[in-house]
Each structure stands twice: as C-alpha cells, then as structure tokens.
Chain A
C-alpha cells in the first residue's frame, strides 16, 4: 500500500502544478479533476474509504461540474466552436489521460491485491465509525453545516437572480463598472 501512496502523491502534485500553469480554464479543470482523484486514492491508501468516495463524488463530481457550467456559460459566443476544436487537439487530453491511466492502474492493483483491507495492515476507519461519530458527538456540526448550506443556497439564488439583468441593480452596477 505504500507504493500506491507515493505514486498517487506524485500524480497529485504533478497535476496540481499543471493546474496553476495552464492558460486555458478547461485544461486546468481537467488537471484539477485528475488531482482530486489522486487525492481520493491517497485517502483510500490512508485507510479512509468513506472520505475517498466523498472526494470522488462531491469534489471531482459536483463541484467541478459547477466550474464547468460557469466556464461554458462565460465562453458562449461565435468563437465557441473554434475553441472547442482547439480544445480537442491530442496534446490537450494526453497529459490528463496519462495521469488518469496511472491512477486507474493503481486502483486495479489495489483491487487485485485484496481490496485494501488487511493487505498492508493499515487500520481502516470505515463509514460505520464515521457515521456514528457524525451523528453522536458532532451533531451540532451537522446542524451548523445545514445552516451554512441554507445560507449558501439563499446567497447563490440572490446573486444569480440579479445576474439575469432585470434592469435596476445590474444596470447601475454596469455603469459603475465602466468607471475604471
């Protein structure tokens, strides 16, 4: 299990370095998804399978989809098709694909070598213990997180509604935006 950790750590650092050096936002997103998957594999090797699943589902799935939505909204225009063609050049997806293939190989190795349980003696803190602790001593944290999510929902609704340009606040804001 040790070598799995080191390889995925190297993949995570390499992909993260690629994220902050890309010029194109979609390429950076591809690399960031690979980086998050690598961190998810690191969680798995550290004996935290529940959090590894959450990382893959929520971070690499849901949050990155939000980013992709916004980037695609902002890229709407006549040059979108040309950009799309430029994005699909082999040089663009070879890097993330190679890193993701390394991760897939590691995952296959883990599954073949015994599912990560007991193969290297790493203590696994599973979903059962996490759930018991989450709704036991940390119940107030769950309530606070729900309030935070509600506040985020209301705030995102408010900001998104004003963004549609219903005259008043957006118009006045635009006149202020042209000042500098």
Chain B
C-alpha cells in the first residue's frame, strides 16, 4: 500500500519506487550536464579543498606575526600574497578564512534547516499546530536580525559560532514556509489519505511520503542560506564582532581597508575570495532550482498573435459573410523548437444573426480557434496558415492598434470563468466604464450612464448597487451578466462566447442562454458559442461544427447533425449525453415555463 513517491518532480508525483530512483538519477544527471551547476559546484569544491589544506600549503600560521614581514608585497619569499600591516601571512589567513566561512555556513544553514524543517512538517501536517507555529515564524521574521546579533554580543561573547547559531534561528522562517506549503499540498493528496486510513502512523507518513517531496526545494533554499550565512559572518567580522584570533574574510577586508593608502592590494584578496564564494553559492542554488523545480513561466511581450515568418494570409474570395475563417492553423513551439499544430486547417462561416456552436472535448482546439479569431492567443502561440476575415477585412497580421479599434466596436468576448475575468481590485462599474471609454469616445458621465443602462439590460435587479460592488461581492451568475454587459457595450457584430455557462449553476445556465438569445434578436449579431455541451447547442445554435484534435470533422445545421450525425466522433459525443431532457428544441419561453412548473 504505502508506495514510494517521486521526490524531485514535485508536480508529478508518481507512486512507484523504481520511477522515483529514475527521476532522482535524472535530476542528478541533468545537474551534471548544466554548465552553470558544474562550474559553480567545482568552485565550491576547490574552496573546500583549499580550506582543508590551510595548514599544509602556507609556510606560516594565520596569526604568526613576523615584524620584518610587515606589509610585505605579494611574491615575497614565504609570503606569496604578501603580509598584512602586523606582519601576518595573507595566504595563510585567506585559507583559514575559508574554513571559518564554511563553518559559519554549516552552523547557520544547518540550524535553520533543522528547526525550519521540523516546524514546517508539524505546522503543515497537523492542523491543530498550524496557528501557533505560524505565529512563531512571524515573530522571528519581525526581529531586526543583524541588530539583534550585535545587541546580543554580551551573550555570545562575540564567538562567531554562537552568533551564527542565532542567525540560523533568524533564518528559520524561510525554510519553514517552504516546507509548510509543500507539506500542506502533499498531505491533501489522495495517497496520503489512503495511507492514513490504512493505519500508517503519522510519523511514517511524514518520513516516507512528505519528506521526499519537500527535499528538492529545501536543498535549493539551504544553498541560498549557506551563502547568506557566509556573507553575514563576513559582515559581522568586518564590523569587529568576534575574536581577533579567528581569521575571516570580513576581518581581513577590514584590516586591508584600513591599510588602503599604504598597501592598496591587501583588501582585494579577501574581497575577491568572498565575492567568488558567495556568487558560486547563489549561482549553484539557481542551477539547482532550475533542475529540481523546472522552468518557470517566461516573460513574454503581449501583443497581436504572432505569425510564422513570411506569413501571408490566404487570398480568398469574399463570400459576403460576417466571419469567414479559412484553413486556420495555430501551433505551439516544442522545447526542441519544432512547431506542433493544435488547430489544423479550420474553416468556419457565420452570418449576421446566426449562432454557430463550436463543439468538442477539451483539448480539441475549439478555444484556441476562438482565441485565434479574437487575436488573444497566448504569447507562445503562433499562427501558421490561413485567413480570418470579419466583413471582408483580414484580421491575421493586423497591427495591435487596428485590432484594438476593431475589438472595441465589432468583436466581443464572453469568458468561461466569470470571477477570474473581473479585476478583483476595481469595482464592477469602473471596469465597465473603462471598457466603454476605450471603445467609444464618450465622457465619463456618459459612460457611467451607459454602464448602468447595460447592467439593467442584462437583467441585474439593482444596477446602481452592482455598479459600486467589488467582484468578490457578487455571485458567479451576476458576474457573468456583468461580463455580458461589458461585451455588448459597443453593440458588436460578432460575439465569441467561450463556454459561457460551464462554471455556473444549472438554473442560472438557462437564464444566461435566454439572455444571449434575446440580445442576439435585439442586436442581430453573429455568435460563436464554444461548448462541450450538446444540450446547449440544441438549445441555442442554428448550426454547429464538431472539432476533434484540431480539425473540424463535421458541420451542418443543428437539426441535420442531430438527426443524422455522419462522423463516428459526433455520434459518440451525442451518445454521451446522459439526459434526453437537456436537449430542448422548444422555444425558450415555454422552456422557462416548464422549469417553473417542475419546481
């Protein structure tokens, strides 16, 4: 029962021991292939080895004072890097400083790791301890860390090891938060529940399932903390906290800095050593993170959809339709640079006042097609071929400014998740006014009046109240009405609705469809309705197009296709409708009445 889970790929925890080892080995191999990891890792190793040889390489001890060697220049016999103002061998002090730095790192990062891990596992796994532990972490974070290290000098006696131990405690919240968040995530997984139900003790679950998941991010964080501890120790030694007997980068920099006018090179050795060591730890941590946690979302410029190099829209005869999509191809680039088409040669036509249902399973390319027509595909997408025309005007390759003008007047969009599509920090009214003012050149007062009128039109009972409400203060059905109001504000000719009812309650769904139908009758616009629900299609669509794996496999009038589906995929989708009742062919008013009667 209690199977091992993969450790290093947090997002895809596969319950198989063999695969765990596989993944772990892969992570290690990837690390070995990453030049940044290899170079910085080697630098750290070289430093460690040099530190271990601190008593072997130099001819003098780190605190051995030879008055005749005072401020000896580099290259002096027995003093390869020279000697400092009190006649101590700089090379010897430098190598011993490496050991001080490493011990500081081990103590600081080690203590943060042990305490942070323990608290994180406890706070993340046992609900009852979460609040007190969280409080503790917040308190520690509030300590002005470095000031405290200095204020507590009477307690530590300036011993850098004690100072680093306290510093480790101050670093604890960093590790704690990572471990807690990961633990909370994992402990809600089904396999952990299963283990718990089948009587595996909490202790074993923590050790076996959860520890292995948090390991990756914790190793990464520890690397950064190690660098941070080294830097802080150097800083404190620079200030003079700590024994003068202990050689350290910080005290060496301080000595050299004071001697700047006499021997300007003395501070350079420890400064470079500290900079390189610190940098190696940070870059090594970065490389580890890339390996363990995978690539993060990249920054991309948001603009009109990209087209392939040398793209020219297909030159097709204008059919006089409202929208004419010919041979549309949309692709995404694979990591290897290869283009994978997700929409492959789609043809669509919509007349004014007509509703076209674009049907298919998730992943069939229907939303991509809709976004392609709207010109709001993700930045990674690229149009490979075809033509999209609105009243004869080619949209593909159109400039961002022209597209904006068109969006504010002719094309509109209703999204799937109403809540996610309203900006949480502005009131509903402000967002509507912003859209109206962007599309029509009216005054703010006129835009507000229009917004209130629209809110009333889409069936919101108290427009003024909703106008002043924040998105989190209204229901999902209300939010969808608000979004419809925003979409129809410029009286568009084409409305693209992407699963407009999927996220809503069943009773609200029918109301929203009725509203769309009424608005269409009033404004005469064409609608592309993206959906996976044949019930919705039967309810509102004049024609439909069925998509599978990026291609349209069947299209025709709704009545035709429902009566006589040709393609096996269409038949399969039609058969998967569970409830015959959801296929309504009667007019909406009667349907609404039937619903009332059913209650």
Q: Do A and B come from one complex?
A: no
Binding site for B on A (CB under 8 A): none
Binding site for A on B (CB under 8 A): none
